[in-house]
A and B are shown apart, each in its own frame.
Chain A
Amino acid sequence: MSLRGESERWLLSFYRASEIDGALFFGRLCKVIRDPRVQFDLTRHFADESQHTRWWTDCMDELGVRPMKVISSYQDQYLEAGGAPANLMEVLAVTLAFEKRVAGSYAAHTKVPELAAPIRATLEKIMKDEGWHIHWVSKALRELEPEYGQQAVEAAIQRYADADREVYQRTLAEHDEVVKALAHFKAA
Chain B
Amino acid sequence: MINTDIVKKRIADTLQLPLAKLADDKLLTDVIAESFAMVEMVIDLQEEFGVRLEQSELKKLKTVADLTALVAAKTREAA
* A interface residue numbers (CB < 8 A to B): 24-25, 28-29, 31-35, 75-76, 79-80, 83-88, 90-91
B59 and A24 form a contact (CB under 8 A): no
A24 and B36 form a contact (CB under 8 A): yes
Residue of B nearest to A159 (CB): B55
Interface flags for B35-63 (1: CB within 8 Å of A; 0: not) read 11111101110110000111101110000
Contact check: which of B36, B46, B54 meets A88 at CB < 8 Å?
A: B46
Given contacts A76-B35, A88-B46, 14 further A-B contacts (CB under 8 A): A24-B36, A25-B36, A28-B37, A28-B40, A31-B40, A33-B43, A34-B47, A75-B36, A83-B58, A83-B59, A84-B39, A85-B42, A85-B55, A86-B42
Contact (A79, B35) CB under 8 Å given A33-B43, A34-B47, A91-B43: yes
Contact (A32, B38) CB under 8 Å given A86-B53, A87-B53: no
Contact check: which of A35, A79, A80 meets B39 at CB < 8 Å?
A: A79
Chain B interface, number of residues (Cβ within 8 angstroms): 19
Contact (A91, B55) CB under 8 Å given A32-B14, A32-B44, A34-B47: no
- Main DSSP-derived SS at the A contact region: helix
Contact (A35, B36) CB under 8 Å given A86-B53, A87-B52: no
B53 and A91 form a contact (CB under 8 A): no
B55 and A86 form a contact (CB under 8 A): yes
Contact (A33, B57) CB under 8 Å given A25-B36, A28-B40, A91-B39: no
A25 and B43 CA atoms in complex are apart in Å by 12
A88 and B59 form a contact (CB under 8 A): no
